[in-house]
Amino acid sequence: MFILTGCSKTRVIDFDESGDLKVQVLGTDKTFGEKIQITTKDQDFKIDVKGMNPWKIEICNIDGGDLELAIGVYKESPHHREKAKRVFLYNIDYKKKRLQPKIRISRLNNPLEDFIMKDIDENGQDNIIALEKLKDGTYQLAAYKWTNFSFDRPYTSENFLEKIIFLDKDGRIQIGEEEKNLYLQGGQILWK
């Protein structure tokens, strides 16, 4: 009698690339990762992030300095003790082959559904563009801007009923069957 057991196969949950830097969230689960792989022309290493439950990763620059990793995680935080989707930002410590926390956001203004990092206000620094779900069941896009200590929320969209899908970090979105592009006009996030 033979018993076959399923082998856990590592898969890429999400990835991003910028120049010679490639980052991947790896896991055996379809939803959350267990490791982050960082690859450059000189290095290739993995970091264990099992307790963070990462589901998204984007390379960004929020302050004009070194690149950061924006990691979508599903976990509790010290100031909000229930599991929720959050955005944590890290710098990469190539020497010690680890992530160096920049800021781990406890909560945004409203519950996070998804996000991209995009310089929507064209100031040379990426904003967190968050898809947030409001208490009444509608959605809103909000842009969060780094203020050297935390994030401010200077830009929002009007509320809308249908959930959007981010197609890429350039701001292409899908609403229903239509593809649109995000842009900023007079402090309001719009799409066309």
pLDDT value, residue 6:
52
pTM: 0.92
- 188 to each of 66, 134, 141, 143, how far by Cα in Å? 29, 17, 9, 9
Which contacts qualify for 125-131: CB closer than 8 Å, 24 or more apart?
125/61, 125/62, 125/63, 125/64, 126/60, 126/61, 126/62, 126/70, 127/62, 127/155, 128/70, 128/87, 129/166, 129/171, 129/182, 129/189, 130/87, 131/163, 131/164, 131/166
Residue-wise pLDDT for 62-99, tens only, equals: 999 999 999 999 999 878 889 999 999 999 999 999 99
